[in-house]
Amino acid sequence: MPSATIDSPLVDALRARGQRVTPQRLVIHRLLREQNRHMSADEVLDEVVERLPGVSLPTVYATLELLEQLGLVRRLGPTGGRVLFDSRLDPHHHVVCSQCGRVEDLDAAVETAPALTAARRAGFADARAGLIVTGVCRTCRCPRRSYT
Amino acid sequence: MPSATIDSPLVDALRARGQRVTPQRLVIHRLLREQNRHMSADEVLDEVVERLPGVSLPTVYATLELLEQLGLVRRLGPTGGRVLFDSRLDPHHHVVCSQCGRVEDLDAAVETAPALTAARRAGFADARAGLIVTGVCRTCRCPRRSYT
DNA sequence: CTTTTTGCAAATGATTTGCATTAAC
DNA sequence: GTTAATGCAAATCATTTGCAAAAAG
């Protein structure tokens, strides 16, 4: 009976996918489990090099993407790489394709009031809420085939 | 009695702030009102140069930022310039400071089910929802003064 | 041993900046 | 006339890529 360590979820997922367990991956994963804050790739590198000198930024990026695919971290922010501007001013939300970055409007009633209240309580003024739904769009889902 | 044109909201806001009404600003604003889609700065430039040759990318960026400040467009995507990774895996939301980019967790119950359903109906699979609240944090609000 | 992962250096792409010129007011 | 806004070229920043060397299984 293997005792569940902090590494287990990562190690198990890697083995299940036939991928390798490297010190870089372990250290980055541990760091993220320990730190209870949002970190950029840069910040991760800074902390990681202290424990494992020589680690490179590209490795950090690759590992973070891997961890995201394994469901072990959540990516925040740019879902595609660029900023988009929306001319619709009425309240509505958005769906973003996690593969191609396509953004579509989403008309759905979502009760954002409690979140706005919580934000104000946290010290944020002029709060506005927007729901971002992430998923895989039809086009990206249908492999190599025009709309059937 | 000035008839309300499509330009009015922009022109009025500019005058109110003592800023200048330039053809670039008018054309970019009109374009965004007409097009009913999300556009990147590049895409805006492409369309704008057809109507006003010689317009530059920096001007497009500056104008889009201005329009955002005036509340005439909404910015989607990178609220700060970089991606952040969140190690919290349980459902929660985020507040982002629109000035400094600071991101904090937000624990508030938000009913995302209807949005997820709408996304599926729109053809998106594996949909996950995250609420992003944008506002100005306390630190950015208190001008030039450490926490009082 | 074989194949994946790494580190390095260089490339890419979006956005921003400095500055002289032009155009609003 | 004054001052803000523009266009241009170059800078910056985060992220990605190509490839040979190192390491996991």
Note the pTM of the prediction, 2 decimals.
0.82
Report yes or no: A75 and B83 within 8 Å, Cβ to Cβ: yes
CB contact under 8 A, A119 and B95: yes
Same domain, A1 and A55: yes
pLDDT of amino acid B146: 42
**Is strand D in 7 Å reach of the CB of A23?**
yes
Q: What is the average pLDDT value for chain B, to the nearest integer?
A: 88
Of A114, B64, B97, the closest CA to residue B56 belongs to: B64
Domain span at A131: 90-148
Q: Where are the alpha helices (DSSP H) in A17-109?
A: 23-34, 41-51, 57-69
Nearest residue to nucleotide C25 when comparing alpha carbons to its C1'?
B20
Q: Inform me whether the C-beta atom of residue B140 falls under 8 Å from chain A C-beta atoms.
A: no
> Domain with A24 in it: what CATH number?
1.10.10.10
Touching B: A residues 36-55, CB under 8 Å: 36, 38-42, 44
Among A43, A65, A89, give the residue marking a domain's end: A89
Q: What is the average pLDDT value for chain A, to the nearest integer?
A: 88
Same domain, A27 and A80: yes
Q: Inform me whether the C-beta atom of residue A76 falls under 8 Å from chain B C-beta atoms.
A: yes
Same domain, A25 and A79: yes
Q: In which element (H, E) is residue B51 found? A: helix B41-51
Same domain, B25 and B76: yes
pLDDT of amino acid A58: 97
> Domain with B108 in it: what CATH number?
3.30.1490.190
Same domain, A14 and A75: yes
pLDDT of amino acid A89: 80
Domain count, chain A: 2
Mean pLDDT of A19-38: 94
Same domain, B48 and B77: yes
Of B113, B62, B148, the closest CA to residue A133 belongs to: B113
pLDDT of amino acid A141: 83
Same domain, A47 and A3: yes
Tens-digit pLDDT profile for residues A78-88: 666 678 888 78
Same domain, A31 and A81: yes
Tens-digit pLDDT profile for residues B86-138: 878 888 999 988 888 888 999 998 999 999 999 999 999 999 999 999 898 99
Of A39, A106, A125, the CB nearest to B122: A106
Same domain, B73 and B128: no
Residue A65 has pLDDT above 50, yes or no: yes
Same domain, A42 and A77: yes
CB contact under 8 A, A126 and B137: no
Tens-digit pLDDT profile for residues B22-50: 999 999 999 999 988 899 999 999 999 99
Q: Inform me whether the C-beta atom of residue B6 falls under 8 Å from chain A C-beta atoms.
A: no
Tens-digit pLDDT profile for residues A103-120: 899 999 899 999 999 999
Tens-digit pLDDT profile for residues B39-98: 999 999 999 999 999 999 999 999 999 999 999 998 887 666 678 888 788 889 999 888
Among A66, A89, A112, give the residue marking a domain's end: A89
CB contact under 8 A, A74 and B85: yes
Which one-letter amino acid corresponds to residue B112?
T
Which residue has tokens 């991606």? B83
How many angstroms separate the CA atoms of A129 and A142, rounded?
A: 32
Report yes or no: A31 and A73 within 8 Å, Cβ to Cβ: no
Structure tokens at B113: 């089910």
Same domain, B74 and B1: yes
Nearest nucleotide from residue A22 CA, by C1' atom: D24
- Sequence length of chain B is 148
Report yes or no: B61 and A9 within 8 Å, Cβ to Cβ: no
- From the CB of residue B118, how many other CB atoms can be counted at a distance below 10 Å? 20
Hey, of A124, A128, A132, A141, which one would you mutate to test binding to chain B, going by the most B CBs within 10 A of its CB?
Answer: A124
Report yes or no: B134 and B96 within 8 Å, Cβ to Cβ: yes
Closest residue in B to A63 (Cα–Cα): B85
Touching B: A residues 86-125, CB under 8 Å: 86-89, 93-95, 97, 103-104, 106-112, 114-120, 122-125
Structure tokens at B139: 């630190």
Same domain, A78 and A146: no
